[in-house]
């Protein structure tokens, strides 16, 4: 006890000598700041000097609720919702639900009508990723609402992600919502037409896709909110991404479903730099690790790549919205997107039972 008090006196003596030196050097503005520092150090040392007493432990626990440790979650690459190459990533048994698990990318199969489905046996790193549609997405939600999406148009499947039709420019029908194939950038044209994709437009391979990494950190507050920061690397350079929270939440009829919600609100967009690095920072009105008042629970957070370079605000993509497409060969046809332009790339599990890849 006396030893610790001596330490406090030593800090005070050091402060006094420093003030005298600053006064001689006319650095008077530094004295108030040193006063605060000395008082803080004195309080810390004094508190530590009685840390072994029950009174001190009670004092500390009374204030522990005001300081929440930062929690960190590692992001892992996926080839669909809650899966990689056909294998489910996480179990959510404790939540009492069977969460969605479906593919959102497949391997390009030149000359075929449909792409090759990725699986544990078929997962080559040199596979070119292409658009696909998992039949599980064509389902009817509980109640009288229509199906989320109809049977997808085969003309929009097995398309390399770089070649997915995009809203075209003014001279290509873009103002009418017409979707067209946009060529990669080559030598800079004399004028700006037609529009082109960014220079980094090589095919996206599974090996490149699987190199994505990320870290989500959050700290919850006493008011129920939280601050969250997501740092990511090895994303598709200059790609268009959005960040989503996948929730277990009850419908008005009491049935629990899994729903994607813009994480932190709209806009939830990010565009990685030319090296594939991106950061996402938000203040949340909820704590990611806790259950809400209506028993909703955040299952995981996902960073999704939009191969059509479009965003759709509060929904992942415009499913079942009919639009006009122009094929690479110039054929014009009407079709819906059928949830084939939104691809989860990095996922951050929040409330899950176990990691199935570590079993």
Domain region containing 343: 71-358
Beta bridge partners of 231: 215, 279
Number of domains into which the chain is organized: 2
Q: Is residue 233 part of a domain?
A: yes
Same domain, 21 and 90: no
Which of residues 21, 39, 61 is at a domain's end?
61
Work out the percent of the chain whose per-residue pLDDT is above 90: 48
Q: Is residue 334 part of a domain?
A: yes
- Rounded Cα distance, 248 and 296, in Å: 5
Same domain, 14 and 151: no
Which of residues 39, 61, 83 is at a domain's end?
61
Same domain, 235 and 123: yes
Same domain, 206 and 331: yes
Q: Position of tokens 């790549």? A: 305
pLDDT score, position 92: 84
Same domain, 273 and 138: yes
User: In the chain, where does DSSP find H-type helix?
Assistant: 2-24, 30-49, 54-64, 206-209
Same domain, 259 and 124: yes
Report the chain's mean pLDDT, rounded to a whole number. 79
Check: CB of residue 245 under 8 Å from CB of residue 298: yes
Same domain, 56 and 143: no
pLDDT tens figures, 209-262: 999 999 999 999 989 999 999 999 999 999 999 999 999 988 888 888 888 999
Between the CA of residue 111 and those of 114, 115, 165, 284, 287, what are the distances in Å? 9, 10, 18, 47, 49
* Helices and strands (DSSP H and E) totals, the chain: 4, 21
Helix (H, G, I), strand (E, B) or coil at 53: coil
Which of residues 61, 96, 112 is at a domain's end?
61
Q: Is residue 66 part of a domain?
A: no
pLDDT of 305 strictly over 60: yes
Distance of CA 189 to the CA centre of its chain: 36
Between the CA of residue 273 and those of 232, 270, 277, what are the distances in Å? 11, 10, 5
- Rounded Cα distance, 61 and 44, in Å: 16
- List the structure tokens of 322: 């009919």
pLDDT score, position 57: 29
Q: Taking the alpha carbons of 50, 53, 58, 61 in that order, is the dihedral positive or negative? A: positive
- List the structure tokens of 355: 């990691």
pLDDT score, position 242: 97
Strands 241-250 vs 297-306: parallel, antiparallel or unpaired:
antiparallel
CA-nearest of 159, 104, 164, 162 to 135 is: 104
Same domain, 6 and 143: no
- Rounded Cα distance, 84 and 88, in Å: 7
pLDDT of 13 strictly over 80: no
Same domain, 9 and 107: no
pLDDT of 182 strictly over 90: no
Same domain, 270 and 346: yes
pLDDT score, position 301: 97
Higher pLDDT, 205 or 171: 205
Same domain, 144 and 8: no
Same domain, 32 and 159: no
240's CB contacts (< 8 A; 6+ apart) are 269, 271, 305, 306, 309, 310, 311
């Amino acid at each position: 006890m006396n030893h610790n008090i001596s330490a406090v006196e030593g800090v005070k003596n050091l402060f006094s000598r420093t003030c005298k030196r600053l006064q001689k050097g006319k650095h008077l503005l530094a004295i108030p700041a040193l006063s605060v520092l000395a008082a803080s150090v004195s309080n810390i040392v004094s508190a530590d000097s009685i840390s072994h007493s029950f009174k001190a432990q009670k004092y500390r626990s009374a204030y522990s609720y005001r300081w929440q440790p930062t929690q960190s979650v590692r992001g892992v690459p996926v080839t669909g919702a809650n899966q990689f190459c056909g294998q489910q990533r996480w179990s959510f048994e404790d939540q009492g639900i069977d969460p969605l698990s479906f593919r959102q990318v497949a391997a390009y199969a030149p000359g075929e009508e449909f792409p090759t489905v990725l699986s544990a046996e078929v997962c080559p790193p040199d596979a070119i990723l292409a658009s696909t549609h998992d039949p599980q997405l064509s389902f009817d939600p509980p109640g009288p609402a229509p199906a989320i999406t109809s049977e997808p148009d085969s003309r929009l499947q097995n398309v390399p992600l770089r070649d997915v039709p995009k809203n075209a420019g003014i001279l290509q029908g873009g103002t009418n919502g017409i979707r067209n194939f946009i060529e990669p950038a080559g030598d800079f044209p004399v004028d700006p037409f037609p529009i082109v994709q960014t220079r980094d437009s090589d095919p996206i391979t599974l090996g490149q896709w699987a190199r994505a990494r990320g870290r989500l950190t959050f700290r919850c507050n006493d008011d129920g909110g939280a601050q969250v920061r997501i740092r990511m690397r090895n994303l598709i350079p200059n790609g268009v991404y959005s960040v989503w929270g996948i929730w277990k939440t009850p419908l008005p009829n009491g049935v629990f479903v899994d729903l994607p919600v813009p994480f932190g609100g709209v806009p939830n967009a990010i565009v990685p730099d030319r090296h594939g690095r991106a950061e996402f920072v938000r203040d949340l009105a909820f704590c990611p690790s806790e259950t809400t008042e209506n028993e909703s629970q955040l299952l995981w957070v996902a960073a999704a790549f939009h191969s059509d370079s479009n965003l759709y605000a509060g929904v992942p993509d415009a499913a079942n919205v009919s639009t006009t497409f122009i094929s690479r060969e110039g054929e014009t046809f009407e079709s819906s997107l059928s949830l084939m332009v939104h691809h989860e790339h990095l996922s951050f599990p929040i409330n899950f039972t176990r990691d199935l890849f570590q079993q």
